[in-house]
Chain A
Amino acid sequence: MRYFKLFRGNNSEGEMKDYRIEVEKGMVVLDAILRIQAEQENDLAVRWNCKAGKCGSCSVEINGKPKLSCMTRMNEYDNDETISIRPLKTFPVMRDLVTDVSWNFIQNKKIAPFKPDPSQKDKNGNYRMTQEDVDRIQEFRKCIECYLCQNVCHVLRDHDKRNKFIGPRFLICLASLEMHPLDTTDRIPDIKNDFGTGMCNITKCCTDVCPEHIQLTDNGIIPLKERVVDRYYDPLKWIWRKLVGEKILRLFPS
């Protein structure tokens, strides 16, 4: 028998309710939630899809820590420890463990889309990039949009700067576009003015919770901040980067 406390309610009211269930070897927290749902609380609201850490649906706060419930093993907790599960704090609760994350989809839409330079194609119509060229953006593209980083970032969580700061998930999305060797769009003014890179004070909480182990701060956000600084305060460096930077393709033997 294991003890659980689950939040039940909506954005205006709710409480932590107690549950007791049998658990088996190898179970993850999501398995326990789904068992409570099937056996005791048929209408318990919870999101999940892949059950293997690939879709980013099942984010909750377990004993105060933001995590994917499908990748959190029960044996990470002591046998007599009560496991408390709450919805993400930064977003409004829809019901029980499900939050309204639509704000994130709105942010994504604000980002100017990828636009390659068709003249870079070879005679067979292929773009050429080396693996080294793409390694660093592939790191950002591992993001499964679980929004755990958005949830912990204090700029959004405690200061509610939602209209001024796009959040770490979308900063690395911007980084992946800015560092894409084929892209031609300039997003630096938006990044400075609308997306609020300046508000991040590099606490690295986002990096700590990322289930994909993306180095958001070091590899994504700090370089973006540097680009903003270069553009606005060190134009020479910016021109230099434009001329020899990663947006210019290397030559390949074909």
Chain B
Amino acid sequence: MAIDVSEIQTVEHDVIVVGAGGAGLRAAIECSSMGLNTGLVCKSLLGKAHTVMAEGGVAAALANVDHRDHWKVHFRDTMRGGKFLNNWRMAELHAKMSPDRVRELEEWGAVFDRTKNGLINQRNFGGHRYPRLAHVGDRTGLEIIRTLQDHGIHQGIEVYMECTALDLLKDGDRISGMVAVWRESGRFIIFKAKVVILATGGGGKAWQITSNSWEYTGDGYCIAYESGAELMDFEFTQFHPTGMVWPPSVRGTLVTEGVRGEGGILVNKEGKRFMFKYIPEKFSPETADTIEESNRWLAGDKEARRPPELLTRDVVAKAIRDEVRAGRGSEHGGVYLDIASQRSAEDIKRKLPSMYHQFKILAELDITKDPMEVGPTLHYFMGGIRVNADTQMSNVPGLFAAGECAAGVHGANRLGGNSLSDLLVFGQLAGIGAADYINSLGTAPAVDNRQVEQIVKRATDILNRESGENPYLFHETLQENMQDNVGIVRNEEDLVNGIKKLEELKKLYSKVKAVGTSQYNPGWDEALALRSLLITSEAVARAALIREESRGAHTRLDFPNESDEWQNYNVVIKKRLDGTMEVNKVEREKPSDDIYRIAYSTLEELEAEVAKEME
């Protein structure tokens, strides 16, 4: 069947933002405030993106609760949490700009929890030296997305909901637009645009046990990769230490780190608080080594050090895994997270209402009385599209990325709360970068109809096939492979196996068939997303194979230590002309002396420096 491109709905914008989570909304707001004609495209309804699920809070050195906080300390925490693999410049910008981005939300109507002095309240979280997470109970993401959404709809942004981006259009090297499909009608739509900003979030749906929803299939990674953009840091996939493990149907659903921030402790089946055993040397000067000191910290003693439950996520996730392996796990293969013995029922319900509700309904468990069962769950991609630190533009002119789908700021491991701030900071910067790019653009790029035809054909082939593989079962096979071979700890043999399996699946993909019509057909959505999942999975597996060390969220049993050499390299992936995946070890940029010094100074040195500055 011939495709008549002139029949396809075509709209024109200066900028198309793909994704309506925090990053996409913030980017779209920035673009339209600078007078750019802006379109915003998302797979679900507006307000339902992953950002809505974020619980614990947004990290920013507002210093409302502990006056010693400062961007320099936030920056140092972020670098240490990321095992110093973070993009230096991005980590610096992030720490410096987060406070203003959070205050701006208040200006747009967000209502954060308050301190006694009427300021935005902040809570403790893993890896953050001071109480730093501005929050609203345990529904911070909802507050942020609703605020951005309600602000954004009055800014003249055109929103295309339940519309799935398929591929980018290019004029030579440059971006010239995008093709998408309306989920309701199954009709295609061509966006002519000078800039595309990808803000599509992560790809957690490649694993069986994940906190991610159906949307997180790595579409942005795939779209960017196919158009020649580079991907970076894919080996760093964050396993959040506390996902639900029981009942089976909710396995992976997140239990916020806020539970530990509010004092929750981790115990094994022997009733032992095991995290004291797993304190890494680097963190031992800053971590409590007795229950007594932990309790003092919880009671608000500023001299006491932080409990080991609040070590970074990579450390806690691996500790839980080791306890379970050693036969000290809970009934259903996790460990116990206990807040009931640490806080009053009233406090728990006030500070963690949605956790209370979630366990009450989904697990029939009262967390004010009983401990929760938790275990690691795939949660977040530190890696993503490689972008310029100041402009957020990728190596493809006109293609930008922000939020979880971009790489850099979090290095080898993300601190909790640093994602929401990342979205706001780099969403805005992507908007500014886009405007600068458009201003410097000579002739407007043109759309090539042959590219459109190819994209449409690829999508409709899945429906037109006579018969073929069930996309849901295909997805399950892929997930099993990633869970088994590219999991929380890795080794060469498994990774090689995993890649082999993926190669087989790639061949099989051309046989996947979606039954039914093109109208609101989740089977078709699923089949389209498999392409993204395959590329995302392959990128993770190949990057994990080449990085022969253990660092942050990437653990190799055959290379159990950090390597000094690998400290200087990122793994960068791009598509070769012959269609295969090229994996390179690329030397990192060096930081300025001052930034380097801040990252590596001791806490005492930095606290003294900050105190002096504030005098």
Chain A residues in the interface with B (C-beta under 8 A): 24-28, 31, 37-39, 42-57, 71, 73, 94-96, 98, 100-102, 105, 108-109, 113-114, 116, 125-131, 133-134, 137-138, 141-142, 144-145, 177, 180, 183, 250, 252-254
Contact = CB atoms under 8 A, between A and B. Distances in A.
Contact of A108 (B108, B153, B214, B515): B153
A100 B52 CA distance: 21
A54 B52 CA distance: 7
A93 to B, nearest CB: 10
Given A114-B109, A138-B136, A43 B524 contact: yes
A1 to B, nearest CB: 17
A185 B153 CA distance: 17
Contacts of A43: 514-517, 521-524
Interface in B328-358: 354, 357-358
A127 B52 contact: no
Contacts of B142: 54, 141-142, 144
B523 A51 contact: no
Interface in B126-148: 136-137, 139, 141-143, 146
Interface SS, A side: loop
Contacts of B364: 73
A21 to B, nearest CB: 13
Interface in B154-188: 154, 161, 184
B452 to A, nearest CB: 25
Interface in B462-489: 470-473
Contact of B113 (A94, A108, A131): A131
Contact of B118 (A26, A27, A56, A130): A130
Contacts of A28: 249, 362
A46 B522 contact: yes
A102 to B, nearest CB: 8
Contacts of A180: 109, 111
B426 interface: no
Given A37-B472, A43-B523, A54-B52, A49 B213 contact: yes
Contact of A113 (B151, B361, B472, B519): B151
A142 B113 CA distance: 13
29 contacts: A38-B473, A39-B472, A42-B472, A44-B522, A46-B522, A47-B45, A49-B48, A49-B214, A50-B48, A50-B53, A53-B354, A53-B358, A54-B139, A55-B213, A71-B361, A73-B362, A100-B184, A102-B161, A113-B151, A114-B151, A116-B106, A128-B119, A129-B118, A130-B114, A133-B114, A137-B111, A138-B113, A145-B47, A183-B109
Contacts of B221: none
A96 B142 CA distance: 28
Interface string B31-47: 00000000000001111
B44 A49 contact: yes
Interface string B186-222: 0000000000000000000000000001110000000
A29 to B, nearest CB: 11
Nearest to A56: B48
Nearest to B523: A42
5 tightest A-B contacts by CB?
A26-B247, A43-B516, A128-B118, A114-B109, A42-B523
Contacts of A51: 213, 250, 253
Given A48-B213, A54-B139, A253 B249 contact: no
Contacts of B64: 126
Given A26-B250, A52-B358, 5 more contacts: A25-B247, A53-B361, A94-B184, A109-B153, A180-B111
Contacts of B111: 129, 134, 137-138, 141, 180
Nearest to A100: B184
A34 B318 CA distance: 32
B479 to A, nearest CB: 12
A45 B354 contact: no
A113 B52 contact: no
A26 B249 contact: yes
Contact of A24 (B141, B214, B249, B516): B249
Given A52-B53, A53-B357, A114-B150, A27 B136 contact: no
Nearest to B463: A43
Contacts of B579: none
Interface in B310-332: none
B590 interface: no
A99 to B, nearest CB: 11
A144 B215 CA distance: 18
Contacts of B516: 42-43
A57 B213 CA distance: 12
Given A43-B516, A137-B111, A113 B154 contact: yes
Contact of B107 (A116, A128, A133): A116
Contacts of B596: none
B283 interface: no
A187 B611 CA distance: 46
B363 interface: yes
Contacts of A96: 520
A128 B121 CA distance: 11
Contacts of A142: 139, 142
A127 B106 contact: yes
B45 A101 contact: yes
A166 to B, nearest CB: 15
Nearest to B527: A42
B162 to A, nearest CB: 9
Contact of B150 (A113, A134, A138): A113
A108 to B, nearest CB: 7
Contacts of A114: 108-109, 150-151
A117 to B, nearest CB: 11
A73 B358 CA distance: 12
Contacts of B254: 52
Nearest to A105: B46
Nearest to A44: B522
B103 interface: yes
Contacts of A129: 111, 114, 118
Interface string B520-556: 1111100000000000000000000000000000000
A122 B472 CA distance: 55
Contacts of B580: none
